[in-house]
Copies of this chain bind each other. A is one copy, B any other.
């Protein structure tokens, strides 16, 4: 397969950075869409071209860029993670509950950090891409996410 050349869309200087923090209250296993709150912060920063990095400060919750249209996709993704990291395995680390070790494994199989380029003050997400926080524990948690923006 012939791969074409990369087209340059923008070039520029690098003048500023910003660091931010988001606390999300989760209510058990599931996906929380944080795309809009991130988009608003990116726009408010005034940085038009650059790079956004997202870091989830936990080992039993994680990040994922996935389909934002049919919620059944997220249901099937959760089912797939539950199959890949079942509750009923013979875990050595079992003192924090049946949901704890599967939560660590599901975090390992998804993302703890993600970076998305910015153009015109917006993340370059695809049309069907949303940015999600994944809670893997049964109980509600306060999840702490750090954001970094760099560019101009």
Contact = CB atoms under 8 A, between A and B. Distances in A.
Given A57-B125, A64-B108, A23 B37 contact: no
B59 A76 contact: no
B114 A112 contact: yes
Copies of the polypeptide in the assembly: 3
Nearest to A53: B115
B144 A126 contact: yes
B150 A38 contact: no
B49 A27 contact: no
A87 interface: no
Contacts of A108: 64, 66, 77, 80-81, 109-110
B17 A12 contact: yes
Interface of A: 1, 3-27, 32-34, 36-38, 40-41, 45, 49-51, 53, 55, 57-59, 64-67, 70, 72-73, 75-77, 79-81, 83-85, 89, 91-93, 95, 101, 104-105, 107-117, 119, 124-129, 144, 146-148, 150-152
